[in-house]
A and B are shown apart, each in its own frame.
Chain A
Amino acid sequence: MSGGSNSASGSPATGSPASGVRALARFRAVAADPLAELAAAKERTGLMAVGYFDSYLPEELIMAHGVLPYRVAVTGREDLRSGEFIQGFACPASRDLLDQALRGDLVLLDGALFTRYCDSLRGVFAVWDSEKLTPYVDFVRYPTVTNTVSAVKYLAAELREVSARMAKALDAPADERRLLEAAAACNRKRALVAELAARRASRDLALSGADYLAVLVAATTMTPDEFTSELSALLAWPPPGEPGDALPVVLSGTTFDNVSLAASIEAAGLYLIADDLATGSRWYGVNVETATLAAGEGSGMYADPWEALAHAYLTRPPCSVKEPSSPRADHLISQVRRSRAAGVLFYLTKFCDSEQAEWPYLRDRLAAEGIPAFMVEGEQKGAGSGGLQTRLEAFREQIEMSGDEL
């Protein structure tokens, strides 16, 4: 366990051991009430805020307009008012987002940016747009194919068009200098999250999985600079702790914002040592090539800054809604290997077509590598049920009895 050292990303070690404890408390508080954090940030900065839902959407696009980006996290609250607008076979995570807007929780948002991440989110957009749930709402015609030059160029052009509409709608023109600063700031924070994940995986830092998820929620809720400052403190002065004898597993899924549910999973004797989440390890590797941005249009390997942005987001480890998806399995296996996890826990959100269809393939790929996998399906609600606890305990015992050592 290190303390007070520089982080790998070069962030200076400032403060004292107490600053790490304070940072962790801050992340927990933000994850518990992200909207309070948004309110405070709006009040502090006087800036507008635009919400988004899909981690493929570059928050730098929003920041380039001098607007606060806010990824609307899934609350896991029991609330069925979205049932008046959308059927129950829309995935519960998508319905949760709609519930928040219908409750009036998101009144602080001046706008919302959607993509068709999945067919459920597309349905939520239809309602959101029709009911004007935020003053400004727009849709990014996002590519599904991620590995072609034409997709990068198309997405770059699409981001430019969305930016032009956002500038008009919010009376907030984009500024290339701000885009540069945003990309650099987001690169810094993502690199720090990557560092946190690596240190957890190597047992250099014993943050619980629930706390790690709280950090992930905070990463797209707090302003990047503030988040970076807090995470630097946490990395420099990690609170003391040991993983104990819990069984280390990788958590795989799409979005997973429910910290209480994660704590509940860990209470079954599992330790979420690494992840394969859309908002976690499949996101924090995004690194926008800022040298191109700084040098201006036509320099480097990209035609302009938007292309650099598009390329960075399209080339991240893919979600199952993207094509090709096969790098996802390689990414997942690498997460297991580097963290020496004993297995993988898949949390499939009910009615999530792409994850449900991907599960048999990922299960078989892992089996071929000798990696045990276990799948639970749920609605990302509450803190989990007693039944879930029992199943997870059975999974743990099954691995322990088989004596698998990876």
Chain B
Amino acid sequence: MTTRGDTRPTRLEATESLKSLIKTYYDDLFRAAAEGRPSVWLNVGVPCEFFYAMDVFPFYPENYGAACGAMKLTPKLSAIAEAHGFSADLCSYIRTTLGTVFSGEGPYGQLPRPTVQVSAMNSCVAIMVWWRAVERHWGIPTFVLDTPLVREDSTGINLDYVESEVLRMLSWVEEGTGRTMDMERLREVVRLSNEGKDLWAEVLDLRRARPCPITAADIFTHMFPMVALRGTPHYVSHLRALRDEVKARVDEGFAAVPDERYRLLWDNLPPWFDLRIFGDLAQRGVNFVIDTYTQAWGPRYMGTIDADNPVRSFAGYMGAGFLNVQIGKRLELLTELVRDYEVDGVVFHSDRSCKPFSLVQVELRNQLLERAGVPGVLLEGDHNDPNLFDRERAMGRLDSFLEVIDSGRA
């Protein structure tokens, strides 16, 4: 496989403004703590909209973990967690965050202790035990919001149950923080959230263009506001700027990867510590024009939250969240994406730290090939721990995979 000169993709201008957005967010987190305002730790399956409406600052340790991963801090922080008895086989987000909690080490120093914690069961069991470890170490009151795993949709008794769980959680948070839910404010937050989500959907849709205007590294970098800022004015303005920039690129026929020869799909979280891999692959004419992870906040999963009935509507989203459904819905999504984005092949990142995402990938690869005729390859790695990612081997496998695609074309 030949490398094609200096063809590293041009970064988005929106990425620069994202940096100040993240800085402001962390400043706000520390300011809230200093001023004694309540805060909450959430997993990504719990909508931040509720908490913005209650004026309880939402913080996502998964986001923090990814940031530490990108800064290559996981091995150091993980070693601290392991010294406390936590297995090196545990999710690298867990090890990373617990390393900070136990030691105060990390990019921002010690994180402020939250007033309360909420985790939902709509991603993995590991989330619950992660929050539990923080609860025990810091003595933080913790709520587990039950969202039983479903096959495809949360309806009937399941939706009723999840809705009752959301209501139970809101009462619990009100009691624990002294704040009350302002339903009128929630409706406004939801309106902003929907507006931003629609802009996000446009960005995802613009990636269908040939050539694709952005790279996987671009879109993964912009996950932060989708997770932590939904429903805020900053979120909408940032996504509008992102959408405008991506749209301008499409209008100009801009190619994020010059000589785009392979349009691939990335399944699962990326290796945060090595987003450069996408740039290196661009030099082989590869662009990951779409991925599954960012779909979790896209129209196919999140839909439009009903501002007039937000609790029920969010319950439906949480109950059938991206990782709370079975293989059938994942296959359906993949089939649609490879069709809509004219994908040549799928790279299944077999992520040691994300069992729910990963442990169906062999089956998905086989069924997708049968159903859509699109080949796939499993790439062993991890979203945060570079010690679990053999880059040289991965690049070798990807080169072989590109040859498979070439031979299919021939």
A contact residues vs B (CB 8 Å cutoff): 84-87, 89-90, 116, 118-120, 122-127, 129-131, 139, 141-145, 148, 150-151, 154, 157-158, 161, 320-321, 323-325, 348, 350-351, 353-354, 356-361, 363, 377
**Are A359 and B326 within 8 A (Cβ)?**
no
- CB distance B85 to A363 under 8 Å? yes
**B130 at interface by CB-CB < 8 Å:** yes
Query: Assuming A84-B362, A122-B149, A360-B85, is B355 touching A129 (CB within 8 A)?
Result: no
Once bound together, how far apart are the Cα atoms of A139 and B126, in whole Å?
Answer: 21
> Quick check: is B94 within 8 A (CB to CB) of the other chain?
yes
Please determine whether A89 and B164 come into contact, CB atoms closer than 8 angstroms: no
Question: Do A359 and B355 touch (CB < 8 A)?
Answer: no
The segment from B150-158, B181-189, B198-206, B245-253 found at the interface with A is: B150-158
Given A125-B326, A360-B85, A154 and B161 touching (CB < 8 A)?
yes
Evaluate whether A353 and B157 lie within 8 angstroms (CB atoms) in the complex, with A84-B362, A116-B148, A129-B326 already known: no
> B129 touches which one: A125, A143, A320, A363 (CB < 8 A)?
A320
B144 partner residues in chain A, CB cutoff 8 A: 144-145, 323-324
Most chain A CB neighbours (cut-off 10 Å) among B84, B85, B130, B165: B85
CB distance B165 to A357 under 8 Å?
A: no
Q: Which residues of A contact B91 (CB under 8 A)?
A: 353
| B22 is an interface residue with CB less than 8 A from chain A | no
Q: Is the CB of B129 within 8 A of A89?
A: no
User: Does B310 belong to the interface (CB within 8 Å)?
Assistant: no
In the assembled complex, B141 has its CB within 8 A of some CB on chain A = no
Q: Is the CB of B157 within 8 A of A118?
A: no
Tally B residues with Cβ within 8 Å of A: 45
Bound-complex Cα distance A123 to B149 (A): 12
Sorted from nearest, which 7 A-B pairs have the closest CB atoms?
A: A123-B359, A360-B85, A357-B129, A119-B355, A141-B148, A356-B87, A116-B149
Return the chain B residue nearest A363 by Cβ: B85
- Given A144-B144, A350-B89, A323–B128 Cβ distance below 8 Å? yes
**CB-CB nearest in chain A for B130:** A357
Contact A361–B128 (Cβ < 8 Å) = no
The closest CB in chain A to the CB of B87 belongs to A356
Give the residue name and chain of the A residue nearest to B129 (CB): A357
Looking at A125, A325, A360, the one whose CB has the most chain B CB atoms below 10 A away is A360
A87 and B86 CA atoms in complex are apart in Å by 22
Q: Which of A143, A357, A359 has the most CB of B within 10 A?
A: A357
Cβ of B16 under 8 Å from chain A: no
Asked if B409 is at the interface of the complex by the 8 Å CB criterion, the answer is no
Measured CB to CB, the nearest residue on chain B to A117 is: B125
A87, A130, A145, A354: the one contacting B146 at CB < 8 Å is A145
Using Cβ atoms and an 8 Å threshold, which residues of chain B touch A353?
89-91, 124-126, 129, 355
Nearest residue (CB) in B for A87 is B350
Can you list 10 A-B pairs, Cβ within 8 angstroms, ordered by A? Answer: A122-B355, A129-B327, A141-B149, A144-B144, A145-B165, A323-B128, A357-B94, A357-B133, A360-B133, A361-B132
Most buried by A among B158, B164, B363: B363
- Residue on A nearest B350 in the bound complex, by CB: A87
Nearest residue (CB) in B for A154 is B161
Contacts of A145 in B (CB 8 A): 144, 146, 165
Q: Does B372 sit within 8 A of A, measured CB to CB?
A: no
Distance of B332 from chain A, by nearest CB (Å): 13
Cα of A323 to Cα of B143 in the assembled complex, Å: 9
In whole angstroms, how far apart are the Cα atoms of A150 and B146 in the complex? 10
CB-based nearest B residue for A361: B136
Closest to A320 in B: B129
Cα-based distance from A74 to B355 in the complex (angstroms): 20
Q: A120-B359, A357-B94 are in contact. Are A141 and B168 (CB under 8 A)?
A: no
Q: Cβ of A116: which chain B residues have Cβ within 8 Å of it?
A: 125, 148-149
Q: Chain B contacts of A89 at CB under 8 A?
A: 89, 352, 355, 358
Contacts of A131 in B (CB 8 A): 363
B360 at the interface (CB under 8 A from A): yes
Q: How long is the Cα–Cα vector from A214 to B146 in the complex, in angstroms?
A: 35
Question: From residue A63, how far is it (CB to closest CB) to chain B in Å?
Answer: 23
Residues of B close to A354: CB separation below 8 A: 125-126, 128-129
Distance of A353 Cα from B158 Cα, bound (Å): 26
**Given known contacts A87-B359, A148-B168, A150-B168, is B327 in contact with A130 (CB within 8 Å)?**
yes
Is the Cβ of B355 less than 8 Å from the Cβ of A357? no
Q: Are A150 and B165 in contact (CB under 8 A)?
A: yes
Contact of A126 among B90, B129, B327 (CB under 8 A): B327
User: In the complex, which residues of chain B have a beta carbon less than 8 angstroms from the beta carbon of A122?
Assistant: 149, 355-356, 359
Identify the closest chain B residue to A157 (Cβ).
Answer: B157
